[in-house]
Amino acid sequence: QVQLVESGGGLVQPGGSLRLTCAASGSIHSINTMAWYRQAPGKQRDLVASITSRSRAEYADSVKGRFTISRDRATNTVYLKMNTLKPEDTAVYYCYVKARPTKWEVVGENRDYWGQGTQVTVSS
């Protein structure tokens, strides 16, 4: 089974920075896409940033120029560096991975995996 473990959330003042980390583990054959989503109270879960297997990154307009997504292929880890944080960035941030699992040396099809979420609060 594939598991995603998130860390790095917390309370930060406006203008501050945080780095979120998501480590994927388990029976993974390969990872296609890794991404970060966020969901604020009363709002839908929206894509913040994504990165492909070839390290092409995409960002939501609201975070362009402030956030940077990266990945470490050796450890199946994705990061989200968040700079110049604003109160409107406050949300639960969820790690997402599209990966092919393995079981008894049989490679499965791509499927979606989600982390449990980590709270980011930007407030003075």
Higher per-residue pLDDT: 1 or 3: 3
| Interacting residues of 117 by C-beta distance below 8 A, sequence separation 6+ | 6, 39, 92, 93, 94
Q: Do the Cβ atoms of 49 and 57 come closer than 8 Å?
A: yes
Q: Do the Cβ atoms of 8 and 22 come closer than 8 Å?
A: no
Interval 73-90 mean pLDDT: 97
| Interacting residues of 67 by C-beta distance below 8 A, sequence separation 6+ | 48, 49, 59, 80, 81, 82, 83
Q: What is the pLDDT of residue 1?
A: 85
Could you read off the pLDDT of 17-67 as tens digits, one per residue?
Answer: 999 999 999 999 999 999 999 999 999 999 999 999 999 999 999 999 999
Q: What is the pLDDT of residue 57?
A: 98
Q: How far is it, in rounded angstroms, from Cα 50 to Cα 57? A: 6
Is 119's pLDDT higher than 90?
Answer: yes
Q: What is the pLDDT of residue 42?
A: 93
Q: How far is it, in rounded angstroms, from Cα 55 to Cα 101? A: 20
CA separation (Å) from 105 to 12, 74, 109, 113? 44, 20, 13, 20
Q: How far is it, in rounded angstroms, from Cα 124 to Cα 122? A: 7
